[in-house]
A = this chain, B = another copy of it.
């Protein structure tokens, strides 16, 4: 588990469990990464990059490493030339599916309302 998440989990009290979820899922691209891995079962580094519309490798690498450190995805390295690395959801990562659905549902509702408000 990475340090930021560890601190939040350590200081975790009943009234802010929701912040634990946000600490784990809250990085750039992370919800999309988990959603894509839920749909595709397995994806390589380059495939993820293309599907996410090209975040910088620096950023994508860090998000993936954090998700791995937090136990949501697994990383499989094939020692060959050219290199090949595969990412999958772990069981814990898959358990976040329902939460991701709910995040998406409310996010859509919220964005729709804001757009309607702006257009009106």
By size class, the interface of chain A is 35 or more
Q: 8 Å CB contacts to B: which residues of A34-74? A: 35-36, 71
Which B residues are in CB contact (< 8 Å) with A108? 17, 20
Find out whether the CB atom of A103 lies under 8 angstroms from the CB atom of B12: no
Instruction: Tell me the nearest residue of chain B to A23, going by C-beta.
Output: B107
Could you tell me the distance between the alpha carbons of A19 and B108 in the complex, rounded to whole angstroms?
A: 10
Whether the pair A98, B102 counts as a contact (CB closer than 8 A) is yes
Known: A22-B22, A113-B92. A15 touches B1 (CB 8 A): no
CA distance A26 to B1 in the complex (A): 20
Contact between A107 and B26, CB atoms less than 8 A apart: no
Q: Does A16 contact B (CB under 8 A)?
A: yes
Does B104 lie within 8 Å of A9, measured CB to CB? no
> Could you pull out 8 A-B pairs where Cβ atoms are within 8 angstroms?
A9-B114, A18-B25, A18-B32, A18-B107, A24-B110, A95-B109, A99-B106, A102-B102
Closest CB pairs A-B (n = 8): A20-B107, A17-B107, A18-B31, A18-B103, A21-B107, A102-B102, A21-B103, A99-B106
